[in-house]
Structure 1
Amino acid sequence: MPTSSYFTILSNSCLVLLFQAFFISIAASSDRHTPENHIRTRAGAPFKVALFADLHFGENAWTDWGPKQDVNSIKVMSSVLDTETPDFVVYLGDVVTANNIPIANASLYWDQAISPTRSRGIPWASVFGNHDDAPFEWPMEWFAASGIPQLVCPVLNSVSLSGEECSFRGTSRLELMKNEMDNNVLSLSKSGPQDLWPGISNYVLQVLSKEKPHTPLVYLYFLDSGGGTYPEVISTAQADWFKRISEEINPDSRVPELIFWHIPSKAYKKVAPKFRIHKPCVGSINKEKVAAQEAEMGIMKILVKRPSVKAVFVGHNHGLDWCCPYGQLWLCFARHTGYGGYGNWARGSRILEINERPFSISSWIRMEDGSVHSEVILS
């Protein structure tokens, strides 16, 4: 090959590479504020979300009662999913009762909890509650004359077991999230920025319009409200992270934003109905006091100043299912979904429905028996 031809080909190749690098850099620049994970709406249909709160899988796992409750919880979720056919599911914390699980790998119970959603091919995301990575608490029943049953903790000279696997140290948030992300293609959960650890479930998803594929319909923010292995708070660092990210991806507050975490903030105490639920609040049960986070570190001040934030959704209190206005946004409880956990109130799920044209966000509670109540317009 003549030298001049060789250099011509080389020059052309370099130009191609330069153009590719140029366009890649433009694409990266234009997408740098876009959340990596997204969900798309169905054409001509509203976007519907089911909230599953306080499932408490694995509770009292050493008794007959415990496993039966997990079966009942699956029935609740299956009923809601088959009736509502949502586009997306949010697991709103306390998916498992880790301090009741007598195995090192609580992910086995976590997998059971998400199985109704996964089996129906519905994408989901999760946040952590105060029970999800709590240390194991030894039940008094095990301190009988016979000692610890071999079924619970096999002998340590087993080929497949070690002392560490029988230490009941619990499964960390990071391990639980890694297992969910690695083994489920439908999971949109994230382990969040490392500088916010030990808070793990801090991330944002965007819901994209099917009709306008590059236009976000709504942003969904997930925050780890602590509990279990560290204090029940949304830290100043998390609040700053939300402020920075929301201003980057939604600088003019044009796109509506919905917020999800597990333990209610102290603001919930300010708006809580005193006895009966009365307007402007909407709900059906008000059977206990709000069990709020240990401290308020700035997240609510940021949220109330953003007109794009329409509502915050929490679990934690099994005997509350109301929504109350707080300034221009709504503070809402989900409905206790799982048969694990305290309280005998009927189980159900809070449903969100987002319509594109005209834009609106509405919510109601779908009960296990199929009934509906507490309908409210949130935007």
Structure 2
Amino acid sequence: MIRLSILLLFVLAAIAEWQEGSSDPPRGVGTGGAAILPAAVLAGARRLRFGSKSGEFKILQVADMHYADGKETGCLDVFPDQLSTCSDLNTTAFIYRVIRHENPDFIVFTGDNIFGIDSKDASKSLNAAFEPAVALKLPWAAVIGNHDQEGTLSREGVMQHIVGMDHTLSQLNPTGIEIDGFGNYNLEVRGAEGSALANKSVLNLYFLDSGDYSTVPAIPGYGWIKPSQQVWFQKTSSRLQKEYMRGALQQKDPAPGLVYFHIPLPEFSYFDASNFTGVKQEGISSASINSGFFATLVEAGDAKAVFTGHDHLNDFCGKLIGIQLCYAGGFGYHAYGKAGWSRRARVVSASLEKTLSGEWGGVKSIKTWKRLDDEHLSTIDTQVLWIKGSTGRRRKSTVPN
């Protein structure tokens, strides 16, 4: 594992060189302070879109940064000789590093973005935590975890601050309905520009607030996704499926959906080393009750994968009833981890199929891998999460009454 201080100096030096007018800027960043947006992002309305040349849409997931006060905030669970030079800035350096190598079309931050209890000013911590995405003018979105609101901002205040930041596509909540939590919303990823599906969402992204801690005295432990949120998800999923499968250019199957929130579902405990890809190094810290959201996902039929954080030492993906349940693994250096076990990020790449006429169609496959913050920014555990034609969608019974 590369010494954290050396890595930090290398990355910050590269950024400083670019800011001084270097002719070799970090990947995805233009000279003169302007960002070169990935091809998959449609300019103007900040609409997410698959690339017309690559037919790909790439998402970087950052889980559990636990950001606090920058260089004043030390690291946890690193080697003793790294403690004197390691801080939140190592987290920032890692984000810049992985963005440069992956050039993602979109970044998702899945909660515990800041460690509120150690932050002097939650607003400043949030600004610093998301600074790489904002500075590089990349589209990004976030949900909140169980530690974001433990500082100078309430849970609603944290999400309000995020929604007001530059280049974010985050939303506070859907309008016109009563719903639990803050940060329940969906985003649509349109087909490639110039294709027949250019004005349809071919990939749907769902974001939910999984809560922090139980507010029911008789139920200990962490929060969960409430009935009001599940009703919103069901209605949103149903609407998107109808729009995709009916009307102009109707499709035979729903567009795939990816779901992001912080606290894992109880169903994450159904796996062991024989039926997942990755590692499980700690228990599953889900709510102590099962809210039934996994059943809601299965019944809806379009969700192909769920992505969470919360348990920093787990980074596996396991498939249950047609849905992949995936951890990202811990990203931040002011978060608990394991010395010698690199901090990591999860990347998801969706690819379009080619139609008989040779143009881009709907999503053909979704794959994932992880990037490690080691000397070589290693890629590990590449796997296919979903291929068109393999579905966990509920089928009507053919058994006669």
TM-score normalised to the size of structure 2? 0.70
Separation in 1, partners of 2:372, 2:118: 27
Q: Following superposition of structure 1 onto structure 2, how do residues 89-100 of structure 1 map, counting pairs within 5 Å?
A: 89-100=107-118
Residue identity matched to 2:337: G
* Equivalence for 1:175: 157
Of 40, 47, 51, the residue aligned with 1:42 is: 51
Separation in 2, partners of 1:294, 1:340: 26
Separation in 2, partners of 1:59, 1:286: 30
Report the RMSD for the aligned CA atoms in angstroms: 2.3
1:87 corresponds to 2:105: yes
Query: Quick one: higher RCO (CA 8 Å, sep 6+), 1 or 2?
Result: 1
Residue identity matched to 1:192: N
Separation in 2, partners of 1:37, 1:235: 30
Of 376, 382, 389, the residue aligned with 1:375 is: 382
CA 1:209–1:63 in structure 2 vs 1: closer, same or farther (change >3 Å)?
closer
Separation in 2, partners of 1:98, 1:74: 17
CA 1:341–1:324 in structure 2 vs 1: closer, same or farther (change >3 Å)?
same
Deviation of 1:228 after TM superposition, in Å, equals 5.5
* Equivalence for 1:357: 353
Q: Which has the larger radius of gyration?
A: 1
* Equivalence for 1:188: 169
8 Å contact from structure 1 (residues 56, 341) kept in 2: yes
* Equivalence for 1:281: 276
- Structure 1 residues not aligned, in runs of 5+: 1-35, 137-169
Residue identity matched to 1:180: I
Residue identity matched to 2:281: K
* Equivalence for 2:228: 237
Separation in 2, partners of 1:197, 1:352: 29
Deviation of 1:323 after TM superposition, in Å, equals 0.2
1:347 corresponds to 2:365: no
8 Å contact from structure 1 (residues 226, 232) kept in 2: yes
**Which has the higher mean CA deviation after the structures are superposed, 92-101 or 228-237?**
228-237
CA 1:257–1:368 in structure 2 vs 1: closer, same or farther (change >3 Å)?
same
Q: Following superposition of structure 1 onto structure 2, how do residues 140-289 of structure 1 map, counting pairs within 5 Å?
A: 170-184=152-166, 186-193=167-174, 195-196=177-178, 199-210=181-192, 211=195, 212-227=197-212, 232-251=223-242, 254-271=254-271, 273=272, 277-278=273-274, 280-283=275-278, 285-289=279-283
8 Å contact from structure 2 (residues 234, 300) kept in 1: no
After superposition, give the CA deviation of every residue in 1:64-95 in whole Å (9 maximum; x if it has no partner): 55894210101111111000000000001000
Separation in 1, partners of 2:351, 2:264: 27
Separation in 2, partners of 1:196, 1:353: 34
CA 1:107–1:197 in structure 2 vs 1: closer, same or farther (change >3 Å)?
farther
Of 136, 139, 155, the residue aligned with 1:120 is: 136
Separation in 1, partners of 2:131, 2:179: 27
Separation in 2, partners of 1:63, 1:302: 40
Separation in 2, partners of 1:117, 1:37: 14
Separation in 2, partners of 1:362, 1:225: 25
After superposition, give the CA deviation of every residue in 1:7-60 in whole Å (9 maximum; x if it has no partner): xxxxxxxxxxxxxxxxxxxxxxxxxxxxx9841122122100000000000179
8 Å contact from structure 1 (residues 133, 229) kept in 2: no
Residues matched between the structures, number: 301
Separation in 2, partners of 1:65, 1:310: 35
* Greater helix fraction, Structure 1 or Structure 2: 1
Separation in 1, partners of 2:309, 2:113: 11
Q: Structure 1 residue runs of 4+, over 6 Å off? A: 59-62
Deviation of 1:318 after TM superposition, in Å, equals 0.5
8 Å contact from structure 1 (residues 132, 228) kept in 2: no
Deviation of 1:216 after TM superposition, in Å, equals 1.2
